[in-house]
Structure 1
């Protein structure tokens, strides 16, 4: 084997190793974070509140904008867009009110336990 072929082979191996190492080192920094945390880390420095940020926008266009400009992945962009829309539309889930019982049955003591 000539030294030129060995050098070319080593160059190919080095390039392949460098490319595979870059793919292994990449990671999604937003993975596993709640939408509230994504807003706090990425948006709160310029926006005091999440209210009004999605006003007048469709969720899909907001998602596409966030994906292109602010988030590191499509799943975090969708989670953040959904969060912003839920804040603006008032879709927060309220606690169910406890029904007040006015019947006299609720004031009656429990039945006695039968003895053996």
Structure 2
């Protein structure tokens, strides 16, 4: 084997060893955090309240915007978009189902009958 081929082979082995070394893995620091905490840590410095931020926007477009510009991952962007939409629509997602005790009564009464003329 000639010395130039040996050097070339050694160079190839060195490059492969350098590239095949330890690989850095990115870590999502927002994963698993509830949406109100995500808002408090990332958005509250510029926005006083979450109310009105999602008004007139579809959840998908809000999600895509947050994913591209503000969140560190797709799951946190979706959680934040859902949270902002729930604030503006007045929906509150209960964390635990309500416990029923005794006989369950309907929450709303039916409307009163219309008087006959």
Distance 2:28 2:17 in 1: 27
Is the partner of 1:32 in helix, strand or coil?
Answer: coil
Instruction: State the partner residue of 1:3.
Output: 7
* Pairing 1:83–2:83 present: yes
Q: CA deviation at 1:93?
A: 5.2
> Which has more helix, going by share of residues?
1
Structure 2 alignment gaps of length 5 or more: 99-117
Instruction: State the partner residue of 2:27.
Output: 27
Aligned pairs for 1:36-51 within 5 A: 36-51=36-51
Q: CA RMSD in A?
A: 2.2
Instruction: State the partner residue of 1:13.
Output: 17
Distance 1:32 1:93 in 2: 17
Is the partner of 1:21 in helix, strand or coil?
Answer: coil
Structure 1 alignment gaps of length 5 or more: 97-116
Instruction: State the partner residue of 1:69.
Output: 69
Distance 1:63 1:5 in 2: 50
Task: List structure 1 segments (4+ residues) > 6 angstroms apart after TM superposition.
Answer: none
Is the partner of 1:66 in helix, strand or coil?
Answer: helix
Q: Per the alignment, do residues 78 and 93 of structure 1 end up closer, same or farther by CA in structure 2, a change over 3 Å counting?
A: closer
